[in-house]
Amino acid sequence: MIALCLILFSLLPLGQLTCNPCCSNPCQHRGICMTKGFDGYECDCTRTGYYGRNCNTPEFFTWLKTTLKPTPTTVHYILTHFRVVWNIINHIQYLRNAIMGYVLMSRSHLIESPPTYNSKYGYKSWEVFANLSYYARALPPVPPDCPTPLGVKGKKELPDSKVIVERLLLRRKFIPDPQGTNLMFAFFAQHFTHQFFKTDFHRGPAFTNAIGHGVDLNHVYGVTLERQAKLRLFKYGKLKYQMIRGEMYPLTVKETQAEMNYAPSVPEHLKFAVGHEVFGLVPGLMMYAILWFREHNRVCDILMREHPEWEDEQLFQTARLILIGETIKIVIEDYVQHLSGYHFNLKFDPEILFTHRFQYQNRITTEFNTLYHWHSLLPETFLIQDEEYTYQQFMFNNSILLDHGLSEVVRAFSRQSAGRISGGRNIPAVVQHVAKASIDHSRKMRYQSLNAYRKHFLLQPFKSFEDLTGEKEMAAELEELYGDIDAVELYPGLIVERPRPNAIFGETIIELGAPFSLKGLMGNAICSPEYWKPSTFGGKVGFDIVNTASIYKLVCNNAKGCPVTAFHVINPKTAATINVSTSRAARDEVNRAVLLKKPYAEL
């Protein structure tokens, strides 16, 4: 494994070249490589279940477990087939809870907690643990003294990131997601992750401005107390608001003095001020900002009726906890449920983990940030009622929300298909600079290869370029650009990877993303035994709001006319028959009314 370094040592005088023997990643099965002198190394195999010089010999129970354990492909197939069997399991509480507990623990244990690395330290240090201004790292950076940018494999120089984007990532023709994902999902993904993916580009891509490293709804309330104060009414626990055409909207930048990133051409009356300063960029983000803003004030009204004795501060803080709970419930049972494609119904119930050893803390990793760059979801244009908006017309245009109405925007986004993410060549030209920046930033932080991450998350490494892409054309281009399958970078590899059958993602995004996501959600303080009780949420009434939350109810309770929505493309005819009191089973039927290859009229 370290043959290249040894050859280089033999060719040059002692001291002229220092080649880190850990560059070749000799330690297998999550063993930790530590240098020993200038030309030696040792692997720490502690608690890996393996032993030997390179942690490659399994202990008996490890061998037995890995022999019997099905592959991720097999598990995915089982969970996405046999609907009748899963419908039975979903109605047997003991079985469902047991399976959900296994899903949560098997995913979460893949995430190191507390964190082990950041982009400055490739070894454990107190700074890694204590310095919250860094994103954490799942894998340490490639040592700076390696023969190639990815360690010892591949070419001495990586291909031009612009060339990678143009040849492998840029959209030729819009490819709709075969799962029927819609724009409500696309904008939810963007708005939800902006609360913890808050890169501090003044300091560099390794740094974050997100204080909480998780779901704290700073995109609703602001990161700082100063910004929060500008948005709060300081009466009845509510956020400041105005009424426009009988509906509640946030106040403007001018009225709150809360800074927002708007284009200079935006009229003052359309510069709504919300928790996140960039949510005025597109109406899809502002739509969700307004929905959560209205939900906060709605919950405050409910709490005031239940607790007339409470002061403003307790109403505000309790409403925030309720909204955090609603968010996690929606993400697990609607959002993750949709992208997984499972027939097994995922369940948000923190009590499932109370009998397990589980740490209620989280640190956002930079790799999680990188794999979440899902710009392929975006369409070519945006269709709202009879209007078609280009990106130039769509950006910084809050007038769309007022002219069409929030409810019509929801209906439009619910019916328009989003793009497929994996499979390559589906990133819109308008955001190609973001894709290029993702590659450039990954290189600056010295990410390890796609295969290194697959091995870390217990996946088999790809053996060839065709194994990665599932076809020949892109495989040939990748080979020309990288030279070796073990030199393919993380982000381009995630995007060009062949999707699972009829799915939005390839295997790697799911198998890397799910552990980060579920650990971050269930590691939230409100999921701990100390917090997860009715009194935390203002009693039974608040606890019920959390436990019955859904994307459909969030929209229905806060948009005129209760527009039906889900994260699948909605059949307009089916939507007309659904109302807020509809059961989850009936809502699931709405979710299954997806746009595949048929025009709307054929659904």
| Residue 499 · residue 422 · CB < 8 Å | yes
| Number of neighbouring beta carbons within 10 Å of residue 573 | 11
Strand ranges (DSSP E) for 107-168? Answer: none
User: Quick one: which H or E segment has residue 173?
Assistant: none
Dist CA 64 CA 215 (whole Å): 38
Q: What angle do CA 107, 110, 113 make, to 5 degrees?
A: 115
Dist CA 350 CA 336 (whole Å): 16
Enter the tokens of residue 444. 């600056």
Is 194 marked active-site? yes
Instruction: Say which of 76, 194, 373, 375 is annotated catalytic.
Output: 194
Strand ranges (DSSP E) for 431-516? Answer: none
Dist CA 297 CA 306 (whole Å): 14
Q: What angle do CA 317, 318, 324 make, to 5 degrees?
A: 90
Dist CA 276 CA 218 (whole Å): 7
| Residue 505 · residue 421 · CB < 8 Å | yes
End-to-end CA, the chain: 56
User: Quick one: which H or E segment has residue 50?
Assistant: strand 50-51
Instruction: Say which of 134, 372, 453, 491 is annotated catalytic.
Output: 372
Strand ranges (DSSP E) for 121-202? Answer: none
Query: In which residue are the tokens 């390794």 written?
Result: 206
Give the SS3 label for residue 448. Answer: coil
The set of residues, in sequence order, having a beta carbon less than 8 Å from that of 65 and lying 6+ positions away, is 49
Dist CA 100 CA 118 (whole Å): 31
CA neighbor of 292 nearest in space, from 337, 243, 239:
239
CA neighbor of 435 nearest in space, from 199, 193, 161:
161
For residue 264, whether the previous peptide bond is cis, meaning omega lies within 30 degrees of 0, is no
Helix, strand, coil percent content, the chain, rounded in steps of 5: 45, 10, 45
| Residue 117 · residue 136 · CB < 8 Å | yes
Distance of CA 38 to the CA centre of its chain: 40
Query: How do beta strands 50-51 and 57-58 pair?
Result: antiparallel
Distances (CA, A) of 590 to 73, 116, 300, 377: 28, 43, 30, 21
Is 335 marked active-site? no
Dist CA 515 CA 106 (whole Å): 8
Dist CA 100 CA 96 (whole Å): 6
Dist CA 375 CA 418 (whole Å): 10
Catalytic residues: 194, 372
